[in-house]
Amino acid sequence: MKDQRIRDPIHNLIAFSAKSADDQALWELLQTSPIQRLRRIKQLGFSEFVYPGATHSRFSHVLGAMHMARRMLDVFERNSVFPKREHLLLRRATLAAALLHDVGHGPYSHVFEEVTAGLGQQQSHESYTEQIIEETNIRSILRKHGIFDETKRFFASEAGSDPYTRIISSQLDCDRLDFLVRDRYYAGLRSATIDLAWLFDSLRIEEVPIDPIRQLKAYSFVVLPKGISVVEEFVLAYMKMYQNVYFHKTTRAVQYMVADIISMAVSKDLRSNKKIKVHPIVRYLSDKRQRTLDNYLCLDDSSVISLLRDLADQKLGDVSVLARRYFARDTYKCMELPTYSSGEIRKGISSKFIDRLKNSNIEFFDDRLPVKDYKQYDVMDENFLKNILVKRDSEYEPLGWSSEIVKNPPAKKMRIYFKTEQGRDRATKILRDFVP
């Protein structure tokens, strides 16, 4: 290997040194087909229907997450808190885990998981990740560099069980740090900024008391008081990105529509169509014998688009109509249930409205959005170290004690989706009876 570098719009140059044993392992992993496949899976799925620039890949994200992990590991070295030999091995494994953390994603990521769940075949992308690490040439590369067991541990042990696993999975991990900055950039948003330089300058790793009675301590990341404002930016960015991008109503509408199209394509009604039944996605989902890891790794976003194109070009009834609507950006139509000024759902009105929709034979389905906010754990809670901790006067306290901003989670939302414009128009007229 010679010195290598990758130009990244978020992190500038991501370099790999021929003199670094860590970088040699990472560069070899980068060349494997499972990781190269991530070039063909969009990071934000169907968000490009709303944000045309949001077409970046999961490959660019895992590179960025690895770079974020490097910066967090620099905090370990700045603090000199771990035995050098142990740290060098775990550093390499942590970087490998950051690079591999999304390798199990399927075509359009969560859409594929929703379809398989609906067909009773659900296997999470985390489960696929473990299988890929075990059964592809990734295993031999990790063994060659002496970190197979150490890397696998990140995907088998409880998230955040020690400082290294917190880098990979926690409320302040390398995954979130990269995707919040990267997704904001490609979506073209001007809000939800995070000052990464100030964040890393404020970050430390220290032994934190977790049980004062038994005098137990554990290493954890902590933020100095000067970093409270930037960590608030991080938490607010997390909540805003979920509200404005990840759970955007149009993106969700496209996800539901494509999931319906794929499910219809796999149904028995289309098994006799020669072109559709041999399509890789249909074959994978409808035939247990085809559900091998090799076949899974052949699926990517282009597999979904080619299936939609095949369906749109034929006259196969409703499924072809839906596929043509996809290419015309004629998505399912959305309506949010009424809320109070506080943002809370008006449950009484909403219940009567839903009953009227059912009695009017209007086809609809609901989308209950999960609330993504900062989770706070009590001092004596076993999950205390999962907090973002602030060090103040030699004491360690959860971020929520110091920040009024993160105490109030965003209001819950419930949306109703209709498959046609006519259905939503009828529902809108009914809603006027309850909310003039």
* pLDDT score at 197: 93
| Both structure tokens of 256 | 């539901």
* pLDDT score at 401: 84
- For residue 140, what are the CA distances in angstroms to 32, 147, 161, 364? 11, 10, 26, 50
Question: Rounded to 10 degrees, what is the CA torsion of 291, 297, 298, 302?
Answer: 110
Radius of gyration of the chain (CA): 24
Strand partners, 211: 216
N-to-C CA span, the chain: 69
Please state, in angstroms and rounded to a whole number, the distance separating the CA atoms of residues 83 and 66.
Answer: 22
Q: Which residue has the tokens 């004690």?
A: 401
> Which residues of the chain are under the pLDDT cut of 70?
157-161, 212, 341-344, 371, 379-380, 409-411, 436
* pLDDT score at 52: 97
Please state, in angstroms and rounded to a whole number, the distance separating the CA atoms of residues 272 and 295.
Answer: 22
What CATH number was assigned to the domain covering residues 1-185? 1.10.3210.10
Query: Global pTM?
Result: 0.92
Q: How many residues does the chain have?
A: 436
CA angle 237, 167, 406 (to 5 degrees): 30
Sheet hosting strand 203-211, strand order edge to edge: 203-211, 216-223, 389-392, 395-398
* pLDDT score at 347: 82
| Both structure tokens of 175 | 């995954």
* pLDDT score at 110: 82
- Three-state SS letters, the chain: CCCEEEEECCCEEEEECCCCHHHHHHHHHHCCHHHHHHHHCECCHHHHHCCCCCCCEHHHHHHHHHHHHHHHHHHHHHHCCCCHHHHHHHHHHHHHHHHHCCCCCCCCCHHHHHHHHHCCCCCCHHHHHHHHHHHCHHHHHHHHCCCHHHHHHHHHCCCCCCHHHHHHCCCCCHHHHHHHHHHHHHHCCCCCCCCHHHHHHHEEEEEEEEECCCCEEEEEEEECHHHHHHHHHHHHHHHHHHHHHHCCHHHHHHHHHHHHHHHHHHCHHHCCCHHHHCCHHHHHHHCHHHCCHHHHHCCCHHHHHHHHHHHHCCCCCHHHHHHHHHHCCCCCEEEECCECCCCCECHHHHHHHHHHHHHCCCCEEEEECCCCCCCCCCCCCCCHHHCCEEEECCEEEEHHHHCCHHHCCCCCCEEEEECCHHHHHHHHHHHCCCCC
Strand partners, 396: 391
| Both structure tokens of 305 | 């688009």
| Both structure tokens of 405 | 């901003």
* pLDDT score at 116: 85
- Residue 429's closest CA among 332, 356, 359, 368? 356
Please state, in angstroms and rounded to a whole number, the distance separating the CA atoms of residues 227 and 201.
Answer: 8
Cα torsion 7, 11, 16, 19: sign? positive
> Which residues are CB-contacts of 214 (< 8 A; sequence separation ≥ 6)?
none
